[in-house]
Amino acid sequence: MKSSSIITRMLRHEWLPLLLMAIAAIIVLALISNSFLSTYNLFVMLRILSVTSLVALSQMVVIAIGQMNLAVGAIGGLVAILFGAMLEIYGVPIPAAIVAAVSIGLLCGALNGLLIAWTKINGFIITLAMLSVFTGLTYGITKSIPFYNMPQALKAAYDSYLGPVPTILFIPVLAALGVGFILNWTRIGRHMLAMGGNPAAAELAGISTTRTMIFTHMLSGGLAGIAGVVAVARLGTAEPSIGADWLLASFAAPVIGGAALAGGHVSVVGTMIAVVLVILLENGLLLARTNPFYVQFFLGALILLAVLFNQWRVQQAEARRASSRAVLT
Amino acid sequence: MSALLTVSGVSKRYPGVLALDRVNLRLQAGEIHALVGENGAGKSSLIKILTGVISPDEGEILLTGKPMRFSTPRESLAAGIAVVHQERNLIPRYSVAENIFLDRLPTRYGVVQRWRMQDEARRWLDVLELDVDPATPVRYLSVAQMQLVEIGRALSLESKVLLLDEPTASISEHEVARLMGVLRRLRDQGTGILFVSHKLEEIINLCDRITVLRDGQNVCDAQPLAGMNKDDIVTLMVGREAAVTELGARAATIGSCRLELTGVATAAGHKNINIKAHAGEIVGLYGLVGAGRTELAKALIGLDRITEGEVRIEGQPVRIHSPLEALRRWRLGYVSEDRKGEGLILSHSVTRNTAITVWHRLRRVGAFIWGSLEKDFIRPLMGRLDVRAPGLDHAVGNLSGGNQQKVAVAKWLAADTRVLIVDEPTVGVDVRTKGYLHQLLWKLADEGTAVLLITSELAEMIQLADRIYVMNGYRIVGEIANSHDYDEMSEALMQIIQNDNDVRTRPVRAREEVEGHHV
């Protein structure tokens, strides 16, 4: 009884087709390539996942309120080099540097949110401007030279195991649980989705859309900041170019995962599966020795396919809606 | 009389349900034909088929004897069927004139002739006596003004067939009367008009014949309306006698003063507004389109600035800066006239839409919200309002209009307000739902809420209100106790507005329009 209800609940979820697709991709890749399931290759993918999952969530929360944060990568980059500077130049202890770095991310996000609130200018333009502001700061501070001397302890922590499990597996899991919890179980999360669904209705119902918006951008900045820190740990250097290539994946994953770009509806699980799917695609192309320059091409094709599939699914739901409406009255 | 538009045996099946089951409709030239039925009876599907939005599965449509098959709205329009849809279909940033002539902008050498277009638009606005500048962007108009613009647009097509789907849903009695005059004139010139409305008084006044749908089937087909009364139509619609209970007079127990406005002026343009509403009282705010009623409500909940005067809630002077403050601090709520635009989050569940006003009170542990807590809270409300949804997790957008409106109201019941402003509470809902909502407002007042009722439907106002303020040109121009006698009250209210218009040499224009000139 219980198990059947779990299965029916699973079937209702929109991310199920994605999950099946990911599983199919894993099976296919395992069959065609011996090296796919090697510990080394799995670890390579896990390392990418540790950063990309955070980037995707960072964008997803802003999509939830019906806005966009083009500065996700720029915030990540700025946080990364400031984190590197703290460690290399000022010798700040790693935990303190992490806290400070993530706070900088929160601050950058808050700045985005406040600017949008004050100016009442579209978030797209504000974050586009801030993308340039943050990136400019990053390159200005570093003069484009990475901080190379990261403490050994940072690398070691990144590559450590908790029992049999690599520590970095906890990053996407905890981040997804955290964001999922906020969206589904807290007041502010409800406010975010309500605002994304219909800002006018949310405001009339006594929700402060300004506060909700600023909180969301802070959350986004914080997640981007964590992504920056993790990226430094992963690379072992704090490079100013960190974050430069995050934008595409940041939108691709939430959208493939079933988010409504207009806001009001996002799927944490869907987004995480989509991140995995994107990584599998890249990995598969790599294993198949495809010209790496074509990876972008295939990623684009994947996004198009996913969006078309989503649209088809929404139309199916519309047809059901029309029939249930007729029944109801 | 010749058959202008014939629908015969049209069926439309959606997965799992037959929305239309061999439906017939015979519209003749030079008649106003009523199409009625409860929400979900199939009216909307039929209109969508006639306007090319959806295609029928079987059946035939003949226009002046020729079989037609529309696959896009454009084809239907080109064939000579003009329509005013229930939903607004205007482009907010375009001017009134541009919206009216959207698909046939007058051009010379490929350049839009702005002045000619505005002159022609003016003509149609004058027919409807809508006093707005054709150059005003539509987004500055009130909902009612927008509706009149859509009607103007349909009229300007001068087509053989005119479909009107709830054209009077958000316009006031005065404009309804004017619209009826226009429609009668068109009928006499030979236009075939299909008139869909929930307002049976209008149908009896205006229409010649009637087609009734119930559960996707014809209950009657082009029956002459002469000799039929409201009850006959209701019986046809719902299939049994006396589904509508006319409320009698309510003995209001008036308590202390909940809301008091003294000499209030707003940034929207209101001048010297004096209003009182007591606990247990339903206070009406009546006025024509553009009188400033909705705008006053919005200023009260903090969406617009109050520039002068004093607002008191339960005797305390208040300054409200946001709807959040209005709700949490002063328990003042506003049920919007625009259900889809401002009232509901259509993609979200019934539960979330209803509980939205109480999330801040649902706190038990920190800021966490448990789904079950929410549901326990709203379940009694759903029962009380008789909301029919397959489940509380069902998206509100999937419900019928009447049930959507119930949810929009339910969320304010949940909020447990002390002053509730209700703006056009029964727009586009069927008779039965309307009855529920009316009873509900009464109960709310009986329980001690001060209800400020804004409605353009005179019958509703006279039925529900204890006292009525009349608003005109952003001022209060009169106050009368409600005798609940329709003829007496309608005359008295109209008289007040007429007198005020006579006094003023030139009507004070709505703020939107003045703004429109500057933008």
Domain map of chain B by residue range? Answer: 5-238, 257-331+417-515
With tokens 């969006």, the residue in question is A307
The pLDDT value given to residue A329: 38
B453 vs B389, higher pLDDT: B453
Q: Give the rounded distance of the alpha carbon of B129 from its chain centre.
A: 19
Ramachandran region, residue B263 (left: φ > 0; alpha: ψ -120 to 50; beta: rest): left
| CB contact (8 A) between residue A264 and residue B345 | yes
Q: How far is A215 from chain B (nearest CA, A)?
A: 14
ipTM: 0.78
Answer for the pair A60, A179: CB distance below 8 angstroms, yes or no: yes
For the ranges A198-202, A221-225, B292-296, B514-518, the lowest mean pLDDT is seen at B514-518
With tokens 């949940």, the residue in question is B414
DSSP result, A256-305: HTT--TTSS---HHHHHHHHHHHHHHHHHHHHTT--GGGHHHHHHHHHHH
Average pLDDT by stretches of 10, chain A with 329 residues:
51 78 92 88 92 97 96 97 95 95 97 95 95 96 92 92 90 95 89 92 90 97 97 95 93 90 91 94 86 84 84 70 48
Q: Is the pLDDT of residue B176 over 90?
A: no
Q: How far is A198 from chain B (nearest CA, A)?
A: 5
Check residue B170 and report its DSSP letter. T
CB < 8 Å to B392, chain A: none
CB contacts < 8 A (A, B): 124
Would you say the CATH fold of B257-331+417-515 matches that of B5-238? yes
Query: A307: burial class by Cβ within 10 Å (0-12, 13-18, 19+)?
Result: middle
| pLDDT tens digits, one per residue of B376-399 | 888 888 887 778 777 788 888 878
CB atoms within 10 A of CB A26: 16
Type of residue at A275: V
CB < 8 Å to A193, chain B: 348, 352
Q: Is the pLDDT of residue B1 over 60?
A: no
Check residue B507 and report its DSSP letter. P
Interstrand relation of B467-472 and B475-481 (parallel, antiparallel or unpaired): antiparallel
Answer for the pair B419, B316: CB distance below 8 angstroms, yes or no: no
The pLDDT value given to residue A124: 94
| CB contact (8 A) between residue B38 and residue A329 | yes
Q: pTM for the complete prediction?
A: 0.76
pLDDT band at B306; cut points 50, 70, 90:
very high
Instruction: Work out the average pLDDT over B227-245.
Output: 69
Q: How far is B87 from chain A (nearest CA, A)?
A: 16
Degrees to nearest 5, angle at CA B33 with B30 and B36 = 170
Q: How far is A200 from chain B (nearest CA, A)?
A: 5
Q: Give the rounded distance of the alpha carbon of B160 from its chain centre.
A: 26
| CB contact (8 A) between residue B41 and residue A191 | no
| CB contact (8 A) between residue B356 and residue A190 | yes
Q: Give the rounded distance of the alpha carbon of A295 from its chain centre.
A: 19
Q: Is the pLDDT of residue B264 over 90?
A: yes
Mutation target to probe the A interface, by most A beta carbons within 10 A, among B238, B346, B356, B373 is: B356
Mutation target to probe the B interface, by most B beta carbons within 10 A, among A204, A313, A320, A328 is: A204
Type of residue at A123: G
Q: Is the pLDDT of residue B296 over 80?
A: yes
Q: How far is B413 from chain A (nearest CA, A)?
A: 12
pLDDT band at B85; cut points 50, 70, 90:
confident
Q: How far is B23 from chain A (nearest CA, A)?
A: 15
In whole angstroms, what is the distance from residue A134 CA to residue A122 CA? 18
CB atoms within 10 A of CB A131: 21
The pLDDT value given to residue B347: 87
- Two structure tokens written together for A216: 């969301």
CB < 8 Å to B299, chain A: none
| CB contact (8 A) between residue A325 and residue B400 | yes
The domain covering B257-331+417-515 belongs, at the CATH homologous superfamily level, to: P-loop containing nucleotide triphosphate hydrolases (3.40.50.300)
Q: Name residues whose C-beta falls within 8 Å of residue B383's C-beta, 6 or more positions apart in sequence.
A: none
Q: How far is CA A67 from CA A49, A62, B119, B296, B396, in A?
A: 24, 5, 40, 31, 23
Answer for the pair A71, A113: CB distance below 8 angstroms, yes or no: no
Most confident of A246-260, A313-327, B164-178, B496-510: A246-260
| Exposure string for A40-76, b = 16+ CB within 10 A, e = fewer | ebeeeeebbbbbbbbbbbbbbbbbbbbbbbbbbbbbb
Partner residue opposite B369 with nearest CB, options A186, A322, A323: A186
The pLDDT value given to residue A320: 61
Q: How far is B365 from chain A (nearest CA, A)?
A: 10
Mutation target to probe the A interface, by most A beta carbons within 10 A, among B213, B336, B339, B359 is: B359
CB atoms within 10 A of CB B483: 11
B290 to chain A, any CB pair closer than 8 A? The answer is: no
Partner residue opposite B345 with nearest CB, options A185, A186, A194: A194
DSSP result, A200-249: HHHHHTT--HHHHHHHHHHHHHHHHHHHHHHHHHHHSSB-TTTTTT-HHH
Degrees to nearest 5, angle at CA B167 with B163 and B173 = 140
In whole angstroms, what is the distance from residue A72 CA to residue A187 CA? 25
| CB contact (8 A) between residue A206 and residue B368 | no
| CB contact (8 A) between residue A323 and residue B19 | yes
Query: A167: burial class by Cβ within 10 Å (0-12, 13-18, 19+)?
Result: middle
Answer for the pair B191, B154: CB distance below 8 angstroms, yes or no: no
| CB contact (8 A) between residue A204 and residue B336 | yes
A31 to chain B, any CB pair closer than 8 A? The answer is: no
Q: What is the mean pLDDT of chain B?
A: 84
The pLDDT value given to residue B485: 81
Which one, of B213, B196, B99, B209, lies nearest residue B145 by Cα? B99
In whole angstroms, what is the distance from residue A161 CA to residue B373 CA? 40
In whole angstroms, what is the distance from residue B341 CA to residue B357 CA? 17
Q: Is the pLDDT of residue B313 over 90?
A: yes
Q: Which of residues 294-353 of B touch A (CB under 8 A)?
A: 301, 303, 322-324, 326-328, 334, 336, 341-348, 352
Q: How far is B308 from chain A (nearest CA, A)?
A: 23
Degrees to nearest 5, angle at CA B301 with B295 and B304 = 50
- Options 3.40.50.300, 3.30.230.10, 3.20.20.70, 3.20.20.140; CATH for B5-238 is 3.40.50.300
A65 to chain B, any CB pair closer than 8 A? The answer is: no
pLDDT band at B483; cut points 50, 70, 90:
confident
* Closest CA in chain B for residue A195: B345
| CB contact (8 A) between residue A205 and residue B42 | no
Q: Which of residues 45-64 of B touch A (CB under 8 A)?
A: 45
| CB contact (8 A) between residue B344 and residue A327 | no
* Closest CA in chain A for residue B298: A204
Interstrand relation of A161-162 and A165-166 (parallel, antiparallel or unpaired): antiparallel
Instruction: Work out the average pLDDT over B281-291.
Output: 85
| CB contact (8 A) between residue A201 and residue B17 | no
In whole angstroms, what is the distance from residue B502 CA to residue A36 CA? 86
Which one, of B184, B211, B187, lies nearest residue B197 by Cα? B211
| CB contact (8 A) between residue A206 and residue B345 | no
In whole angstroms, what is the distance from residue A88 CA to residue A93 CA? 10
* Closest CA in chain B for residue A317: B398
| CB contact (8 A) between residue A324 and residue B359 | no
B165 to chain A, any CB pair closer than 8 A? The answer is: no
CB < 8 Å to A265, chain B: 347
| pLDDT tens digits, one per residue of B33-43 | 999 887 667 88
A16 vs B511, higher pLDDT: A16
Answer for the pair B33, B69: CB distance below 8 angstroms, yes or no: no
A4 to chain B, any CB pair closer than 8 A? The answer is: no
For the ranges A225-239, B48-62, B181-195, B499-513, the lowest mean pLDDT is seen at B499-513
| CB contact (8 A) between residue B368 and residue A201 | no
In whole angstroms, what is the distance from residue B203 CA to residue B165 CA? 13
Q: Is the pLDDT of residue B248 over 50?
A: yes
Q: How far is A5 from chain B (nearest CA, A)?
A: 16
Q: Which of residues 144-203 of A touch B (CB under 8 A)?
A: 185-188, 190-191, 193-194, 197-198, 200-203
Answer for the pair B160, B3: CB distance below 8 angstroms, yes or no: no
- Two structure tokens written together for B437: 């909502």
CB < 8 Å to A64, chain B: none
CB atoms within 10 A of CB B186: 18
| CB contact (8 A) between residue B323 and residue A206 | yes
Q: Name residues whose C-beta falls within 8 Å of residue B488's C-beta, 6 or more positions apart in sequence.
A: none
What three-state secondary structure class fits B86? coil
For the ranges A51-65, A199-213, B99-113, B468-482, the lowest mean pLDDT is seen at B99-113
In whole angstroms, what is the distance from residue B194 CA to residue B211 CA? 10
Q: How far is CA B190 from CA B3, B6, B161, B187, in A?
A: 12, 16, 9, 5
CB < 8 Å to A187, chain B: 359-360, 362-363, 367-369
Q: How far is CA B184 from CA B163, B208, B474, in A?
A: 14, 10, 32
In whole angstroms, what is the distance from residue A227 CA to residue A233 CA? 10
* Closest CA in chain B for residue A211: B324
Q: Report residue B216: phi and psi, to 5°.
A: 80, 5
pLDDT band at B514; cut points 50, 70, 90:
very low
Helix B173-188 with B486-503: angle, nearest 10 deg: 90
Counts for chain B of helices (H) and strands (E), in that order: 17, 22
